[in-house]
Chain A
Amino acid sequence: MSDQTLNLEFTEFDLPNGLHCILYQDNTKPNVCVMPAYQVGSKDEVKGQKGIAHLFEHMMFQGSENVSKTGHFDSVMKAGGTCNAFTGFDSTVYFDLLPSNKLELALWLESDRMNSLNITQTNLDNQISVVLEEKKQVMDNIPYGTMTSNYLMNVFKGSQYEISVIGLEEDIKSFTVKEALNFHNNYYSPENCVLMISGDINIEKTKDLINKYFGSINKKNLIQREENIITELKKNDSMTVEDNVQLSIVSVCFQIPGEESREDFDLEYFTEIIANRESSRLHKKYVYEKNLFKSVHANKICLKEAGILIIFAMLNPGTDTEQAAKILNDEVKLFYESEINDREFERIRNQLEFRDVTKNLIMNNISIETVKNYMNFKDTSLINSSFKKFSKVTKADVKETVKRYLIDRNNFTLNYIPKIKIQ
């Protein structure tokens, strides 16, 4: 079995203004994906402006010197494409997916809003309203919606990862036009951007077009970033939230090293061996055999500088939350103390191999992963070697990492329980 399942080729270059460009050619479908990714995210926000990076992303769709409010969306859609953006802790990524004969249109649109933004008070007020509704829709008005923000607040206390990307209501409401323009000037500079273009392109022609639209954009005024100091959890801690839900959730979480670190790969084996699939240890024992959990999962929130590993169970009515927390903690200990059998270890390797091959299916996904790999690790072709890294992981590595970050360290337990008891 070969360790390398992907072999994608990238062409890379820098413009004199510092814009880093990555091209990936695949002419099998008549589509193109244009993706400028800016190295700014919610971790760059100062106190009193939590949520600004994301709100600003909305303002990027509200018009620039030559593009009207909603003009970006409208132009892309009437060209037969779609576009969107997402803000993370470490970066803000925009993308336009279009028929390949519309490549130049996307470059024109993206370069115009990198060059100059047109922000009015009316448009800002409108988007503040929209973002406040977005916050309700993704967080406040859905069951267990505040879980992620509670993890962050407790596991990353005092760091720049403490507040979730959507931010704080008061801060969002107080954002001004001047602050928005400053944000553009401080972070939306060509040397702070990675422009990835993938799909049905011709490399030389695309280079010329990039130069035509982005070559004349001047560097802006990048500012000193907030320092992101992440400290270990000082003690085992827990928190219980009463929510408008009918089933309880118990979750135990741990602070872990950042994504793409050696430990991140080791822990991928751990999460898949103990939870998620039906044949995983926790599922077999407590969902299937004992019927205590409705479901059980183990996930990682992977950020550049650190991450959170979460094991969480949704409890069947009648299952005690303390008992559930004990089960989860005991399972982690048992993992370290007992042997990983060959079959379950091979199972994870097979799952990762499958996942690696399917990565190549969707152009947009290749672009997202590649810009991130360049921005965070300065390693554009990491996508080709990540499965190799998974293959090299040994059982001993996994156990050692589990000991170091899960057994020997403090953790945080977060419970959600029904406000009103089920009759």
Chain B
Amino acid sequence: MGKSKIEKITSAVTLDRSRQPKSGKPKDVSFPEFFETKTDSGISVVVIEDRKLPLVTSRFIFKTGGYADDQWGKKYEGLASLTTELLTKGTESRSASVIADEVDYLGASLSSGSDYDAIYISTYSLKKYFDSVFAIAADVILNPAFQEAEMNRIKEQRINSLLSMSDDGDYISDNIFRSEVYKGSPYSLQSEGSKTSVPNITTDLAREFYTRYFRPDNLIIAMVGDISPEEAILKINTELNFKNTEKTLYPEIISPEKISGSRVYLYDKKGAVQSSIKVGHQGIKRNNPDFITLNVMNTLLGGNFSSRINKNLREDKGYTYGSKSSFNCQRFCGDFSVSTEVKNEVTADTINEIIKEIKLLRKVEAGKNELKNVKNYLTGIFPLQLETPNAVAQKVLSLKLNDLPSDYFNKFIKEINDVTPDQIHEAADKYLHPDDMIISVAGNVNEIKDMMKQFGELSVVEEQ
């Protein structure tokens, strides 16, 4: 390891510190190349080869999730999530303990999870253990046992998790927000289940869910790291033979009800010394063509530390440690929200400032410089977001999941740079609705109730 000294120290007294240095020539940023194909059985495969480290990740994504629970009804919300969790809890030839023991022994991970749009199963390991871990993942996907005892165990665990999560104000205000913003659509369900729905879920239902959605045409696989496309395809073709190869049928998606006039929902959080606030309304689905314009607009409004809302609430007013606005874009619908935690007494002031910033953006065109800074930020951090092969894979998978073209990220930087002040202004007008918002707050209701009446019809929510 070289330890060296600078031999000659040049004098630096002439440095003029008042002048910000000019930057060097930027390097070309291109999205890493990836391989994609479809197997004979209909599985979409993406391979991102990166030989820097002896690591391999495999990710399996089934294009279904919490939104599909709706076909069974609210009584069974959480079905997709529990079905997913049950997969790694036993196959026809391996018990839950054997699966955990085999994976842990290799220092590897086998994880599963779900959200509204997808079910995820993934492995991560050193290259030398990849064959073993992949075999377990394939077993879990193809031959789950759906044992009664394991189902009962994870149901009890889930009910206790729900109890524990409801101690957190942010979790509660998020939940209220979701159920109101998405009212009438499958996205209003609680994808992790509720204490009333979880007991209703049975192994028979899990098996039914599995049979309907775990089919090759509904599966996307990404293989990432120290592996070639040839190796990856061979592995999938030899180890992943589905018995059920029928075409997957997808449900019709009902859109959420329109929100007219703002509505306030308060939850009395025992002992709260801050208000957990989430305000917003419906947004866009991920493959909406205005996604990039809205990304730029949101970054300027509240998307990063330098944004208008954060500067106002934190650096000017000192109301909060931080705030964030975001467009949460899912496959079939989305939402826009601003969230923050503030001291009780400024809860209403905070919401007024948020509304003020949204209205200002709709009224006055954003300055050229401000817009340029935002574009520089978004295009500059893009390569920072591609630091690991897994991060690249995640981006590619989001394309596949949302039916976006493969060259999407090759044009990304150019499209960001092409956004005009006019487009931002139009988008703000079209997609921001400061007078028709869901305002959800978990906090000390006694202290904040009166001040919250100014924003619209107010309800105190009892149960979450």
A residues sitting closer than 8 Å to B (CB atoms) are 9-16, 28-31, 65-66, 69-70, 73-75, 77-82, 97-105, 107-108, 111-112, 115, 125-134, 136-137, 140-143, 200, 207-208, 211-213, 215-216, 244-247, 277-279, 284, 288, 291, 294, 314, 316-317, 343, 346-347, 349-355, 357-358, 360-363, 380-381, 419-420, 422
A208 CA / B274 CA spacing, docked (Å): 49
A321 CA / B244 CA spacing, docked (Å): 49
Which residues of the other chain, A, contact B343 by a CB distance below 8 angstroms?
132-133, 136
The bracket for how many chain B residues form the interface is: 35 or more
A130 CA / B387 CA spacing, docked (Å): 32
Given the contacts A143-B167, A363-B387, A70 and B157 also touching, CB distance less than 8 Å? no
Tell me if B53 and A133 are in contact (CB < 8 A).
no
A350 CA / B378 CA spacing, docked (Å): 39
Contact of B160 among A216, A316, A360 (CB under 8 A): A316
Given the contacts A82-B381, A294-B161, A101 and B24 also touching, CB distance less than 8 Å? yes
Query: Could you name 27 residue pairs across A and B whose Cβ atoms are closer than 8 Å?
Result: A10-B1, A13-B5, A31-B384, A66-B18, A66-B20, A77-B304, A78-B373, A80-B377, A98-B380, A101-B25, A102-B24, A104-B22, A108-B21, A115-B17, A126-B316, A128-B318, A129-B317, A133-B320, A142-B168, A211-B12, A213-B15, A216-B13, A244-B270, A279-B100, A294-B161, A350-B106, A351-B107
Which residues of the other chain, A, contact B54 by a CB distance below 8 angstroms?
357
Which residues of the other chain, A, contact B96 by a CB distance below 8 angstroms?
288
- Known pairs A134-B321, A215-B9. 9 more at Cβ < 8 A? A73-B306, A77-B377, A80-B384, A102-B23, A133-B274, A133-B341, A279-B101, A363-B387, A381-B1
- Residue-wise, chain B 350-383 has the 8 Å CB interface mask toward A (1 for contact) of 0000000000000000000000111011111111
Which residues of the other chain, A, contact B411 by a CB distance below 8 angstroms?
none
Contact of B126 among A78, A80, A126, A353 (CB under 8 A): A353
Tell me if A65 and B17 are in contact (CB < 8 A).
yes
A-B contact count (CB 8 A): 239
A80 CA / B315 CA spacing, docked (Å): 21
Minimum-distance CB pairs A-B, first 3: A80-B380, A129-B318, A350-B107
Tell me if A288 and B23 are in contact (CB < 8 A).
no
Name the residue in B10, B169, B377 with the highest tally of chain A Cβ atoms < 10 Å from its Cβ.
B377
Q: Report B121 CB to chain A, min CB distance, Å.
A: 16
Q: Report B312 CB to chain A, min CB distance, Å.
A: 12
Tell me if B387 and A314 are in contact (CB < 8 A).
no
Which residues of the other chain, B, contact A102 by a CB distance below 8 angstroms?
23-24, 380
Which residues of the other chain, A, contact B100 by a CB distance below 8 angstroms?
277-279
Contact of B12 among A13, A29, A212, A422 (CB under 8 A): A212
B6 within 8 A of A: yes
A422 CA / B159 CA spacing, docked (Å): 13
Which residues of the other chain, B, contact A78 by a CB distance below 8 angstroms?
306, 372-374, 376-377
B288 within 8 A of A: no
- Residue-wise, chain B 162-174 has the 8 Å CB interface mask toward A (1 for contact) of 0110111100000
Given the contacts A10-B1, A134-B321, A143 and B168 also touching, CB distance less than 8 Å? yes
Which residues of the other chain, B, contact A9 by a CB distance below 8 angstroms?
1-2
